[in-house]
């Protein structure tokens, strides 16, 4: 709430656009969690399995990264 009131004050002082007033304040997400392919659709699980066999490093379980290796 304290951060929100600082932002609101900056809007009222004319230093930030009005859209910032009462903006959503959320805890920073440090690890971007990309949905695992098998949570997304029907065939990606099969495709991913093929790439997962290549011993992907920790945290690189998405199809994008696996295709790049």
Residues in contact with other proteins by the rule CB under 8 A: 3-4, 6-7, 11-29, 32-35, 37, 40-41, 43-44, 47, 62-65, 67-68
Is the Cβ of residue 4 or residue 52 nearer to other proteins in the bound state? 4
Q: Min. distance of Cβ 9 from other proteins in angstroms?
A: 10
Q: How far is CA 50 from CA 10, 12, 13, 47, 65, in A?
A: 52, 55, 57, 5, 13
Dihedral, 47, 52, 54, 57 alpha carbons, nearest 10 = 140
**Closest distance to other proteins from the beta carbon of 47 (Å):** 5
């Amino acid at each position: 709430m304290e951060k929100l009131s600082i932002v609101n004050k900056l809007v009222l002082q004319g230093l930030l656009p009005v859209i910032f007033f009462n903006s959503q304040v959320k805890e920073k997400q440090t690890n971007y969690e990309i949905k695992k392919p098998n949570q997304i659709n029907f065939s990606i699980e099969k495709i991913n399995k093929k790439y997962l066999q290549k011993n992907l490093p920790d945290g690189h379980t998405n199809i994008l990264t696996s295709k790049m290796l």
